[in-house]
Amino acid sequence: MATILHIDTAGEKAMIAITRNKEVVASKENAVSNTHASFVQASIQELAALAKIDLPSIEAIAVTMGPGSYTGLRVGLSSAKGIAYALQKPLIGLSTLALLANTAKRSPLFSSQGLQIFTMIDAKRMEVFGAIFNQAQEICLKEQAIELDTAYFENLVSNGPILCIGSGAPKVKNLTTHPSVLYCDLSYNILDFIELAESKFALQDFEDIAYTSPAYLKEFYLKTN
């Protein structure tokens, strides 16, 4: 357990939080996406003062690596890398899709036998940035850009029921009414951040500050039969 600064600017809402021993000490959100850059730096100083924590005493910085908003990801990661470098602290990179998979555990549908967790972020038109996890949070389909169609889901359900979660999930409702395609409207929050960041901190699973970059997933993948 550690004192961690969390930065999330991957979506329309930004979140900054400081946690200690898996408890939230201070947090703040911003709902105006084009002001995330100014929000991040000011909020970090504000929360540190509110929590009466000197930034050098923070043991790690956790940040969303994507996929998500191109501009938002650059803002969050550049801020996190700058702080980590200045303070000589480890950088923990978190996948927004892995965070959503962790969120799915809170759904009453999560207990469905053989469930596939399809985490997806809207990428415009009928495209999503997605990944598929099993109930043990293991990756079954790695993060990639996906163009959705009905045949794609007909193939997936042959492997078991699917729980769709994330901002891209509403698109699926226009493609299939299959009873094995389920939906969860929950969003990840600071609790998911804490769980994944603490796990990576314990394993010393850190990013290379000099070379790490956002997971943009620009190239799109089309499933064919």
Instruction: Please say whether the beta carbons of 196 and 105 come within 8 A.
Output: no
Structural domain harbouring 158 = 97-184
Q: Does residue 135 share a domain with residue 123?
A: yes
- As given in the structure block, the two tokens for residue 194 are 């804490």
49-99 residue pLDDT tens: 999 999 999 999 999 999 999 899 999 999 999 999 999 999 999 999 999
Q: Does residue 38 share a domain with residue 91?
A: yes
Instruction: Please say whether the beta carbons of 119 and 187 come within 8 A.
Output: no
Instruction: Please say whether the beta carbons of 188 and 96 come within 8 A.
Output: yes
- Average pLDDT along the chain, 225 residues, taken 10 residues at a time: 93 94 95 87 93 94 95 94 97 98 97 96 92 97 94 92 97 93 96 97 96 78 45
Q: Does residue 104 share a domain with residue 34?
A: no
Q: How many CA atoms lie within 13 A of 223 on its CB side?
A: 18
Please tell me the distance from the alpha carbon of residue 48 to that of residue 55, in angstroms, as a whole number. Answer: 7
CATH of the domain at 156: 3.30.420
Angle, helix 36-51 to helix 70-87, in steps of 10 degrees:
40
For tokens 């549908």, name the residue.
Answer: 109
Provide the pLDDT for residue 218: 64
Q: Using omega within 30 degrees of 0 as the cis cutoff, is the peptide bond preceding 67 cis?
A: yes
Please tell me the distance from the alpha carbon of residue 157 to that of residue 161, in angstroms, as a whole number. Answer: 6
Provide the pLDDT for residue 224: 44
179 assigned to some structural domain: yes
221 assigned to some structural domain: no
Q: Specify the pTM.
A: 0.93
In one-letter notation, the amino acid at residue 105 is: K
How many domains does the structure of the chain reveal? 2
Q: Does residue 192 share a domain with residue 91?
A: yes
